Amino acid sequence: MDNLSITLTSAKCELLDNILKEFKDESYIKTDRVSKIFRGNDILAADYLGLLSQLQLITLIGEVEGYALPAMIGKQSGVKMFMSEGGFMRRFELKQLQETAGKGVQELQTENLNLSSANRTHKEKIEKMETVIRQYQEQIELFKQAKFNEIFIRIGLFLLGVALTWLIISLM
């Protein structure tokens, strides 16, 4: 449907689906049923039938020069599956949704890859920062230990000074 040279609208898709729905469980239908869909405009109906024929959804049987419509239309084997998947209307809606979203599958995949790459870069930065933080924490712990040792030594020297002073005073 993407490669069609005509622009499909919601109304055109509905008409194409209506033609295919006319078959129901039948393999062949007379073109007068299609003519009713187009309210007797056989030239317009013939254009739509030509499109369906190009898409290999139907076969035109009994075409006669001078008449717009063939005698009968045969349903191709893929029509039932095509219609079960929503027909032209569903494909039209999906295309509209894709255009509304503004991104195709390829664009979304590219964006996803870019985000994955950025995510890896952020993870690497986080890992580097965590390493720096661990190094700072180790330095802080060493500093705390050194301060504790310094205070312990000062208290010990102070007590030793007090003890020596008491000893000297008591010996006198």
Q: Which pLDDT does position 156 carry in this prediction?
A: 94
Query: What is the pLDDT at residue 104?
Result: 64
User: Domain of 74?
Assistant: 10-101
Six token digits for residue 64? 């006669």
Residue 95 lies in a domain: yes
For residue 166, the Cα-to-chain-centroid distance in whole angstroms is: 86
How many CA atoms lie within 13 Å of 129's alpha carbon, on the beta-carbon side?
6
Residue ranges of the chain with pLDDT lower than 50?
2-3
Whether 72 is covered by a domain: the verdict is: yes
Residue 165 lies in a domain: no
Size (the chain), residues: 172
Q: Is residue 51 part of a domain?
A: yes
Return the pLDDT at 103.
61
As for how many domains the chain has, the answer is 1
20 falls within a domain: yes
**Residue 72 contacts residue 31 (beta carbons within 8 Å):** yes
Distances (CA, A) of 148 to 132, 141, 151, 157: 24, 10, 5, 14
C-alpha torsion sign, points 47, 51, 57, 60 = positive
| 159 occurs within a structural domain | no
Cβ(46)–Cβ(31) below 8 Å: no
Is 0.85 topped by the overall pTM? no
The CATH number of whichever domain residue 47 belongs to comes to 1.10.10
Question: Is position 166 within any domain?
Answer: no
Write down the pLDDT at residue 113: 82
- Whether 109 is in a domain gets the answer no
